[in-house]
Structure 1
Amino acid sequence: MIMDKTSRNKKKTRDEILRATFELISDKGYLGTTTREIAQRAGVAEITLFRHFGSKERLFEEVLNRYSFLPRLREMIPDLKKTPLREGLITLGITFLKTLQEKRGMVKIMLSEVNIYPDQVREVYDRFIATLLDTLSGYFDSLIKEGTVREVDTLFASRAFLGMIYSFFLAEEIIKGRTLSDKNAEKTIAEFVDIYLNGMLNR
């Protein structure tokens, strides 16, 4: 019982630190946020932060793994494998877009500072992107194996799929400052998926 309570307390502390980090990075960026500020926001001592995560870079990596599209993608894949391809990709695309909308502040500020990240932080970011693409690539590999789609480079396919939605989000919601309604978002994603699956050639 004591061990269970200790474990729960550790998890609660860890969750509070991650939440505080996400909020501060969304507001001030990774470079503009200090571990002291994170600890104060989380209501813990700064040394406690380092006991849980070891370094600011490791904390950043954990925030990306928890608050990005990656955990949602991992949760979705088992159901996607049982869903018709077009329907599954539309669901995937809408979920990706909604995640970007929910995390707009973090996306916007990371976009502005990613090119000046120190090497260690850039490695964390690049590793996260690679994991995201590898995860979606694994889903596409399963589609090839079952004969649903033809053989393609699934990493390129993953980059193309996420890239078209990400670039649309940047253009509409970051640069132009618009917010799509759910109805317009679904229509847009469905159009993207149809072009993605069928191309533009008249067959």
Structure 2
Amino acid sequence: MAIEKTEDKLIIAAIDIMQHKGYSATTTKEIAQHAGVSEMTLFRKFPSKQTILDAIIDKYSYAFTMKKIFTEQLTYDIEHDLTAVSRTYQTFMEENKKIVLLAYKECNVHDEISERLTANPRLIKNYLMDYFKEMIELGKIGDINVELQVMNFLWMNLGYFSSQFISGKKVAQVPVEDFIEHSVKVFAKGLKKD
């Protein structure tokens, strides 16, 4: 059994508390107590609460995974590529619900936190915009409003995650793989050239 590092304990404790109380209301003393260490140990590992938040965001960043899709794994088959993006997005969101809840709590409260927590969605948007523009140039999709269609794709994925996150199976009982397969198929069909 692997021994959990102090930094990891502190990050997990911070997420656990911040998801309920928010960033501002969470104290370093609470984080240290929840992690089972002294506040002095916390400050040896993280000089401030902001550096803990930065570590949380860095640890749970999925930018690398998305970059890999767009730089190494594209097939230029719109359905295949968007399926890979949707699957990565849904997996990340499911595994990091606590970070998502923190992002919801902190949006429009702390600009610096909102800026960091929205970095990944902005990066995905940019990757997708470049991809859609390239697909237009290759003649694989029609002449579309690129930003609008990228946002539609992202909203579709966020909508599925949010409905599962907020209401569980009370609203929709569609398994994630069924959602990805069917929604991406319809979305890709709408983009393809006639």
The two structures share one fold, judged by TM-score above 0.5 = yes
CA contact (8 A) 1:100 1:107 kept: yes
Aligned in 2, Cα 1:168/1:47: closer, same or farther, shift over 3 Å?
A: same
Shift in Å at residue 164 of structure 1? 0.7
Match of 1:101 among 69, 85, 94: 94
Greater helix content: 1
CA contact (8 A) 2:13 2:34 kept: yes
Give 5+ residue unaligned stretches, structure 2.
none
Aligned in 2, Cα 1:87/1:119: closer, same or farther, shift over 3 Å?
A: closer
Residues 1:184 and 2:175 are matched in the alignment: yes
Which residue does the alignment assign to 2:73? 80
Residues 1:137 and 2:148 are matched in the alignment: no
Percent identity of paired positions between Structure 1 and Structure 2: 27
How far apart, CA to CA, are the structure 1 residues paired with 2:134 and 2:32?
A: 43
Which residue does the alignment assign to 2:53? 60
Which stretch shifts more, 153-162 or 41-50?
41-50
Aligned in 2, Cα 1:74/1:54: closer, same or farther, shift over 3 Å?
A: farther
Shift in Å at residue 86 of structure 1? 0.8
Equivalent runs, 1:14-93 vs 2, <5 Å: 14-41=7-34, 46=39, 55-82=48-75, 84-93=77-86
Shift in Å at residue 17 of structure 1? 4.2
Give 5+ residue unaligned stretches, structure 1.
1-11
Count of residues in correspondence between the two structures: 191
Shift in Å at residue 114 of structure 1? 2.2
How far apart, CA to CA, are the structure 2 residues paired with 1:58 and 1:20?
A: 14
Partner of 1:30: helix, strand, or coil? Answer: coil
Aligned in 2, Cα 1:42/1:141: closer, same or farther, shift over 3 Å?
A: farther
CA contact (8 A) 1:29 1:113 kept: yes
Amino acid at match of 2:176: A
CA contact (8 A) 1:144 1:151 kept: yes
Which residue does the alignment assign to 2:157? 165
Normalised by the length of structure 2, the TM-score is 0.70
Normalised by the length of structure 1, the TM-score is 0.67
Two-structure CA RMSD over aligned residues (Å):
3.9
Match of 1:118 among 110, 123, 132: 110
Amino acid at match of 1:193: V
